[in-house]
Structure formats: C-alpha cells, structure tokens
Amino acid sequence: MRELNVAVVQMSPQLSKMEDNVGAMSQFVTRIATEQPVDVIVFPELSVTGYEGGGRFAQMAQRVPGAVTNILGQRASEFGVYILIGMAIKEDVETVLYNGAVLIAPDGEVAGQYRKVHLPAEERLVFRPGYQIKPFETEIGTLGVMVGWDLAFPEVARSLMLSGAEIILLPAAWQTKDADMWRTLLVARAYENDIFIAAANRVGEEPSYDFAGQSAVLSPGGSVTAALEEPEEGYVVVRMDLDEVRHRREESQVMLARQPAAYRSIVRKY
C-alpha cells in the first residue's frame, strides 16, 4: 500500500491582514502535525490575503519564493510535511498578478506552483489567468492542484488525471449561495476521474461575500470520506491508500472507455 495522510484546513482569513493570516496558518500546521501523522496540509484559496482585495493585491501579492513561503517553509521543514498555500503571486513585472497555489516541500523549499486558470469576472479585474495544467511529481505521489472556480470546469480535473495525478488538492473560496453546487461538483470530479480530492474551502465573511466552508475529502468513485459540515474554522485529516486509485480505475474502466476522437469540439472557442 502507498498511504499518506492529508489534512484540509477550513479557516477564515482576515482581509488584508497578511501577518495575522500567516500566523494562523503556522499555528494550524503546528497543531495538526503534533496531533497525528500528516504528509500534506491544504489551505484555502487566497488564505494569505483574504479574497476581496481588489487593487490592494498589487501590494499584497508575493513573489515565489518570498517572505510568505519562507515563513511557512520553516514549518514544513520543522514537521516534515508538504504545505499547499493559496496566495496571490507576483511576477517579476510588478503588474502581473496571479491567483495561485504554492506547494512547499518537507525541506522547506518550493516544490511547485499553480496559477488559477478559470477566473470569475471580479478576479479578471486583478489577476491574469494561468495557462498550464500539470501535476507535481513528489516522493509521496503525483499531486494535482486546481483552485476555486477551476472545479466547475471538468477539463482541469480530467487533464490532471490524464497527466498521472492520483490526488487533486483544491484550495477554494466558494460562497454559501453556491454550496449545493460545490458539493455536487466535488462528487462529480472524483467520480468521473476516479481520483482522490482534498478540498479546503474557506469560511467567514467579507464585504460582498459569505463563504460556505464544507471542506471535504473524497475518494475515487465520489464517496465523501470526511467533511466539515459547520461553517467554522477547523480541519480534518484522512488517510489515503493511493493504490485505491489504480484498483478503482481498473474496475470502472473510465480511462479505457474514453473516446477522445469524439470530443474534438471541447477545445474549440465558442
């Protein structure tokens, strides 16, 4: 068996209070890692800054590596865990910003980063869309990452699956009004790709938003293994057997039954 323990953190980042948010994330890592064995800890989307930053993201976005990854890299190194951070990423050109996720390895170094591909209208005013979807090869398995609204686009999870991902890590900031759709799409993506999903959705309120929480871990086939039902801060840790991915795919034949030649219109612009 190839087993790993994955934690999803449900937290309420405070808008623009980066120092407080990074401190809270550091405390979560310490608490989780000292209470039980853990290999990966997933934080929500834009957990470093809060979501509704608008023009302030130009000042709050961070380079990678940078101050935020260095601080949380110390925790990763101290406890020997992977940490996935939802954060605003700044390129060398000051005006180029991305809504992204950064994976920090157990040695404290950056193992990879993903830039959210599908941006809602309000995010397109601030961020550029990412353009690359590929998983990270790590010593604990092949980890796919997507962020927030990417969940609504089946092409993202399918691309990660076809590229070898065994688990998808999902930092998110889905709203309470969309909670039913959040749950439905999590099940659909896990089922149609026979893949583990570890989804960390934030809670709390900002001026225009009320966030749903309902963070969850799903197994290949779409069963919910664990979930945080209440809209409050907390976390869950789930032990996964990655060999279950192969067994499930052999049983369902989802990859063999595909007919790519019939799907050519999917990649056309409307």
Residue pLDDT, tens place only, 24-66: 999 999 999 999 999 999 999 999 999 999 999 999 999 999 9
Which amino acid, 64? Answer: V
Cβ contact 8:235 at 8 Å: yes
pLDDT of residue 185 exceeding 80, the answer is: yes
Question: Which residue carries 């032990």 as its tokens?
Answer: 239
Q: What is the pLDDT of residue 93?
A: 76
Query: Which has more confidence, 266 or 122?
Result: 122
The domain covering 3-267 belongs, at the CATH homologous superfamily level, to Carbon-nitrogen hydrolase (3.60.110.10)
CB atoms within 10 A of CB 231: 19
Domain boundaries, the chain: 3-267
Cβ contact 44:200 at 8 Å: yes
Q: What is the pLDDT of residue 92?
A: 80
Residue pLDDT, tens place only, 219-262: 999 999 999 999 999 999 999 999 999 999 999 998 899 999 99
Burial 47-75 (b: 16+ CB within 10 A, else e): bbbbbbbeeebeebbbebeeebbeebbeb
Residue pLDDT, tens place only, 88-144: 999 887 789 999 999 999 999 999 999 999 999 999 999 999 999 999 999 999 999
Cβ contact 41:232 at 8 Å: no
Length of the chain: 270
